[in-house]
Amino acid sequence: MLTNTEFKAFKSDDQKAFKKVFGLYHSALIRYVAGLTKMDADAEEIVQEGFVLLYTNKHRLDRAEDIYPYLFTIVKRLTISYFRRKVTISKYMEELKVHWNEQEESTLAQVAEREIWDVLQMSIDELPERQKQVYTMNKLEDKSYQEIADDLGLSRSTVKNQIITATKIIRLKLSKYHLLLFFY
C-alpha cells in the first residue's frame, strides 16, 4: 500500500511512485489474467494496457486505497474485451474458412471443367471429318441415330459405328482427366 505522500507523488507523475504501484500489483494481476487467458504473453499485454490506463486516468483517484480496485476493474474489462475479440476473430476465421473453401472448390471446379471442355473440343476437332460431323450431331446437338442417318444420307448402322469409334477415341484422350471427371 502507498503512503499519502507516495500517492500524491504518484498523481504528480513521479516515476518512483508509479514503479512502486507497478511492483505492488503487477504480479497479482498477471496471475489473475493468465489464469483466465491461459496465455502469458496476452496476460502481460492486458496488464500493461491496464497500467497505461491507470496512469492516464490517475486524476480520477482520490485515495491510495482506490488504486487496486480501479486497476483490477480496468484489467477485468480489458480481459473481457480480449475474449470478445477472440470470439469475433474466431467467428470471422471460421466464416472465412467456409467461404474460402467454397470459393476455392468452385474455382477449381470451373478450371477443371474448362480444361476438360478444351480437351474434348480438341479431341472432336481431331476426328476425321465424317466422324466429327456424326459425333457432334449426336452428342452436342442431341440427334438420334436415325435423324443423323436421314440428314446425311447414311445407314443407321454406319452412324452407330461412327459414333462408337469416335466415342472410343475421345474417351481415350480424356482418360487422363478421369479423376477430374469423377470429382467434378
Residue 183's pLDDT band (boundaries 50, 70, 90)?
very low
- Name the residue with cell 469423377: 182
Determine the Cα angle at 13 with ends 2 and 45, to 5°.
80
- Per the CB < 8 A criterion, the answer to whether 74 and 21 are in contact is no
Distances (CA, A) of 168 to 21, 149, 160: 85, 20, 12
Q: What percent of the chain has pLDDT over 70?
A: 87
Helices (H), 38-127: 40-56, 67-125
Residue 92 in this model has a pLDDT that exceeds 60? yes
Structural domains in the chain, sorted by start: 4-92 (1.10.1740.10), 126-183 (1.10.10)
Mean pLDDT of all residues in 1-13: 91
How close are the terminal C-alpha atoms of the chain, in Å? Answer: 71
CA distance linking residue 66 with residue 119, whole number of Å: 78
**pLDDT for residue 181:** 47
Residue 26 has pLDDT above 60, yes or no: yes
Return the number of other C-beta atoms located less than 10 Å from residue 141's C-beta: 10
Residue 81, pLDDT > 50, answer: yes
CB-based contact 43:37 (threshold 8 Å) = yes
